[in-house]
Structure 1
Amino acid sequence: MRSETVYTHYRNTQAETHIVKINSCTKSFISALICIAMDQGLLPEASTPISTFFPQLASDPDPRKPAITLEQLLTMTAGFNWDEFGGQNSFPRMTRTEHWVDFALEQSLRHKPGTHMEYNSGVSQILSAILMQHTDMSVAAYAERYLFGPLGIHDYEWEQDPQGVHTGGFGMKLLPADLLKFGQLFLQQGRWEKEQLISSDLVQRSTQPFIAVSPPNRGSYGWHWWVDQYEPAKVNENIAGSPALDNTSAEQHRPLHYYYARGFGGQYVYVVPELELVAVLTNDKRKKEKPPLDVFPKWIVPELWKLARL
């Protein structure tokens, strides 16, 4: 697939050459590395229970916990009692402990695993630990060999927890241009130049909707990717006596599907397969002004939808 940059704008010119925090976009990188390890046979099937990686969970008083699967970690449906941004069970509290992974694993279950999506950077740290455990190298070293290196990503920083496990849910710094490469890799079904870095099967599986998310979030969640669609209001729908949509109208109202990595503060990587398009949005800290969170769904994707239907 031939790629072409159609629009670039840096409000702050330094953003082009200075790596910045991508925050929770890190989660989608962890997902990609998990997929690569699965392809290589270093990690087992997504249905594998968590007790395979952490045998100590077999003695947990809640029999549901050791049966949590790798896929439920990836889809954040493990069921842990977790409040991401505050309280006793949160990622800020986790980062103040001496062992982040143990903290995440010790949390009680609020929901039956597989039934409810609860945003949780703790499960991302568990995934990072699993990756380190089964590749026999640091997560960053594994990324350099099998993801960053092939993509030509050389300038980055990545935080680690007290045990040396690279942060699974946040803590990575990258250039916007390298975020674009990452999105392009997924647009190309895991292929980069002449090399298949991730199998197309796992690219599709990881970016398909797995479970609906709760407001104020939109759409669904996959394997550490957000999944959504744009569909304009169907004017004739639910109006008594209005004629059924003909084939042309149905085509005109067909939704535009996309998936994306999302990081706190306005960091996004959007992939729109139908249009063979990747869009990267970053934010450069506007002090007290809150970054707009709906730029793409509110302003960009409606215009893309019009182009797709021309």
Structure 2
Amino acid sequence: MNSLNLHHTLQQIIPPLDLRSCLVSVRGEIVYKHFRNTQAETDIAKINSCTKSIISALICIAMDQGLLPEAGTPISTFFPQLTSDPDPRKPAITLEQLLTMTAGFNWDEFGGQNSFPRMTRTDHWVNFALEQRLRHEPGTHMEYNSGVSQILSSILMQHVGMSVAAYAERYLFGPLGIQDYEWEQDPQGVHTGGFGLRLLPTDLLRFGQLYLQEGKWEGKQLISSQLVQRSTQPFITVSPPNHGSYGWHWWVDQYAGQHLDDNSVPQHRPTDSELLQSLDYYYARGFGGQYVYVVPELELVTVLTNDKRKKEKPPIDVFPRFIVPELWKLATFSE
């Protein structure tokens, strides 16, 4: 793929979208960067639900270190009080079902009695999340749920013998050179698992690069390649309006010459030669336009951040609608 062509193409597409930042690296080299202003480059900002993918990474590290048991472990191992829950399915929910959002809880992420805003107004977020009744058979349906991410953060804290942020500093942020961050906590001092982390765009890019390199950073294996692969493979197909699949707190999708969703029409009908392949990618996603995309086949990582107010709707799906079709063309038609 020609990096010069990519830079030229993105320079036409990205600035008019008025994103806070856009960073693209190929084989570890930044080939395109755009910041709305100096503050966007130098100030940490909310990454919202991209926090979930950071929690996933820390859980993988703790599993590698033998501090957390394997993914099939039931939740009652961590919260023995669930054995007396009236629903016998609840104590059997597994760590993997929490990671893949398939625990089955009755949850409406953004509003209502069982939502993450309601959770944050309680005095014990983890208990609130655990007390929700089950709406689906565990393992069968993906329901986006920041309460589950808080449960995971609590499990992590229980087992690593320090705060989640201190653990991140030692085994993830430190090795990656991430020094500047802020991370919110719940009333029990558990760092927020589903949101609440502030980072620099360049540090999000390092995080994506770590995954592209299958957990290796400067010669050190921070996360085993086995768990990087397992956590970023499709586990369950997601329901509309979402697209693709979900892994361990990572979204997974592919592009095959067209991208269909609620907001876009097919770009073109793929030719026979194009149908022979597709671009697989996975990504961290945060509310309001925060993304980290990893495209292993192209050795490419893209970070997008935004900070638009509610009245100014940010462009939706910048990567699949605007960037991937260009990557596809460059990958398909270049030598």
Which category describes the TM-score, using the shorter chain as reference length?
over 0.9
1:69 alignment partner, one of 94, 100, 103: 94
Query: In 2, distance between residues paired with 1:271 and 1:40?
Result: 25
1:4 alignment partner, one of 25, 29, 43: 29
SS of the aligned residue for 1:23 comes to coil
2:287 alignment partner, one of 264, 284, 307: 264
Q: Give unmatched runs, 5+ long, in structure 2.
A: 1-25, 260-269
Q: Deviations over 1:279-304 (max 9, x none)?
A: 00000324620111211000100111
In the TM superposition, 1:7-18 aligns within 5 A as: 7-18=32-43
- The residue aligned with 1:59 is 84
SS of the aligned residue for 1:186 comes to helix
Query: In 2, distance between residues paired with 1:159 and 1:13?
Result: 25
2:113 alignment partner, one of 78, 81, 88: 88
Q: Retained in 2: the 8 A contact 1:190–1:198?
A: yes
Q: Retained in 2: the 8 A contact 1:15–1:284?
A: no
The answer to whether structure 1 residue 290 and structure 2 residue 319 are counterparts is no
Q: Retained in 1: the 8 A contact 2:282–2:294?
A: yes
In the TM superposition, 1:122-201 aligns within 5 A as: 122-201=147-226
Query: In 2, distance between residues paired with 1:284 and 1:55?
Result: 41
Q: Give unmatched runs, 5+ long, in structure 1.
A: 235-244
Amino acid at match of 1:187: L
**1:9–1:110 Cα change, 3 Å:** same
Amino acid at match of 1:20: A
Q: Deviations over 1:30-88 (max 9, x none)?
A: 00000000000000010000000000000000000000000000000000000000000
- The residue aligned with 1:42 is 67
- The residue aligned with 1:112 is 137
Query: In 2, distance between residues paired with 1:157 and 1:220?
Result: 30
Amino acid at match of 2:227: L
**1:287–1:87 Cα change, 3 Å:** closer
**1:2–1:217 Cα change, 3 Å:** closer
Report how far residue 233 of structure 1 moved.
5.1
Instruction: Say which structure, 1 or 2, has more relative contact order (CA 8 Å, 6+ apart).
Output: 2
- The residue aligned with 2:16 is none
SS of the aligned residue for 1:280 comes to strand
**TM-score of the two chains, using structure 1 as the length reference:** 0.94
SS of the aligned residue for 1:9 comes to strand
SS of the aligned residue for 2:34 comes to coil
1:275 alignment partner, one of 288, 292, 298: 298
Q: Retained in 1: the 8 A contact 2:204–2:292?
A: yes
Query: In 2, distance between residues paired with 1:307 and 1:218?
Result: 24
Report how far residue 251 of structure 1 moved.
5.4
Amino acid at match of 2:219: K
Query: In 2, distance between residues paired with 1:27 and 1:283?
Result: 18
- The residue aligned with 1:239 is none
SS of the aligned residue for 2:144 comes to coil
2:325 alignment partner, one of 302, 305, 309: 302
Bigger drift between 70-79 and 300-309 goes to: 300-309
Using the aligned pairs only, state the percent identity.
84
Q: Retained in 2: the 8 A contact 1:68–1:78?
A: yes
SS of the aligned residue for 2:157 comes to helix
